[in-house]
Amino acid sequence: MKVLLGVSGGIAAFKAPEIVRSLRRKGHAVRCSMTRSAGAFVTPLTLEVLSQYPVYREEYLQPDNNGDELHISAARWADVFCVAPATCNTLARLALGLADDFLATTALAFTGDLLVAPAMTSEMWEKEAVQAHVTTLLARGVTLIGPVVGPLATGETAMGRMADPDEIVTAIEATAKGGDLEGRTVLITAGPTHEPLDPVRFLSNRSSGKMGFSLAVEAASRGARTLLVSGPVSLPTPRGVERFDVTTAAEMADVVDRLAQEAEVVIMAAAVADFTPRSTSETKLKKGAGPPRMSLVATPDILTRLQEIAPNTLRVGFAAETGNLESEARRKLVDKRAHLIVANDVSRSDIGFGSENNEVTVFRAGKPPLTIPLQAKRLVAARLLDLIRQELDGGEPGMDTAGG
């Protein structure tokens, strides 16, 4: 495989030589591109010696010996382009499509698989601006490797550490292998539902849709035909995903019932309203009329009904709990006739609704629970799909989820 490694300027750049060496040992050809600030952390000579190829630097936006511009020939040469470390500045430049140095310009010219391994402090990683860029990149099909929780250069242990070189090399090699969900159809629901009281008011919940969308990004990048039924959220449609927007629980039920006929797996990550107003006022309820008397009725439980509507599907439910996680999840496994229940504690502010990260415990009948430790939702999604694929393949017991 031909790998172009883009190195941007963070302290984790000192690990770039390790990535190059490991890729070379595995028989891959490697070329490196560095941003100007990366040079403060690792020397071009180190990367040049290890890759046995001149390092592309900022100033190399010029024709090569054949008259092709270097950023074009580098982009056409590579099968995979991996940026490690990806600083928040470089993530922003990639998301915005800037062409202000060799690395960014080559990324624009490159049409293959782009991977990014962010590295920064947890404050920077969690900044809305950074997350917006990450969301944009994910929606375009960019593969995110890490970051992980670990010791940072600041001395603390927190989210933001670059994934280990071994993990980056594994991700690069996995890209070339193609998807392990090729030929499968996966139906995913995401986000909240809105249950209207009148034309301007509704009952809803705090779901942002990020977990479901992360699952959709991951399923599509692994080659699954991915059907995403989304409640009202402000997230871009991930590349390669067929999206169906709905508003109410009843609408979601209709669309899921229909699409489930085509699916082998249904993942109900949506936070579907359990109750809806018995009636919706056609006109805006007036303050002067005093507090309205509200009568609620239960919505159809979409997941539970699937056992009859689409009996051959592998069904995965979510349980967002604020207490008794295990007993509630086990009850839902039985009551909702699901194969897997993914439980998370939404009373914690660092995970769950709206957060970028998650920590979940997966419950399966007759098997011990598995905890997927705190990490970015996309990485949690990857571990969940590993588990789902295993269940589809016949369900081997146990799985190592301890890694990042």
- Do residues 70 and 60 lie in contact, with contact meaning Cβ atoms separated by under 8 Å? yes
- What's the angle, vertex CA 34, arms to CA 32 and CA 36, rounded to 5? 165
By DSSP bridging, strand 314-321 and strand 265-268 are: parallel
Reduced to 3 states (helix: H, G, I; strand: E, B; else coil), residue 104 is helix
Report CA-CA distances (Å) from 57 to 35, 71, 103, 221.
6, 10, 8, 30
Q: How far is the CB of 61 from ligand C5P (least distance, A)?
A: 50
| Residue 222 Cβ vs ligand C5P, minimum distance, rounded to whole Å | 21
Q: Of the two residues 122 and 193, which places its CB atom closer to ligand C5P in the complex?
A: 193
Q: How far is the CB of 200 from ligand C5P (least distance, A)?
A: 24
Residue whose CB is less far from ligand C5P, 86 or 246: 246
Cβ 289 to ligand C5P, closest distance in Å?
A: 30
Smallest gap, in angstroms, from Cβ of residue 353 to ligand C5P?
Answer: 13
Chain contacts with ligand C5P (rule: CB under 6 A): 189, 249, 268, 270, 272, 274, 299, 301-303, 317-319, 332, 336
Q: How far is CA 159 from CA 41, 137, 150, 214, in A?
A: 21, 19, 6, 18
Nearer to ligand C5P, 160 or 317 (CB): 317
Q: Which is nearer to ligand C5P, 143 or 299 (CB)?
A: 299
Let me know if 205 is a catalytic residue. Answer: yes
d(CA 67, CA 131): 39
What is d(CA 202, CA 66) in angstroms, rounded to the nearest whole number?
A: 63
Query: Strands of 367-376's sheet, edge to edge?
Result: 241-245, 225-230, 185-190, 265-268, 314-321, 340-345, 357-364, 367-376
- Closest approach, Cβ 345 to ligand C5P, in A, equals 13
7 vs 341, beta carbon nearer ligand C5P: 341
Locate 276 and state its tokens: 């809806």
- The 3-state DSSP class for residue 190 equals strand
In the bound state with ligand C5P, the residue whose beta carbon lies nearer, of 127 and 331, is 331
Catalytic hit among 65, 205, 357, 358: 205
Task: Give the integer Cα–Cα distance in Å for 8 and 37.
Answer: 7
Min CB(201)–ligand C5P separation in Å: 20
Complex with ligand C5P: residue 80 or 341, whichever CB lies closer? 341
Distances (CA, A) of 367 to 201, 341, 370: 43, 12, 9
- Phi and psi at 386, nearest 5°, equal -60, -45
CA dihedral 20, 91, 175, 43 (to 10 degrees): -10
Which amino acids are annotated catalytic? 205
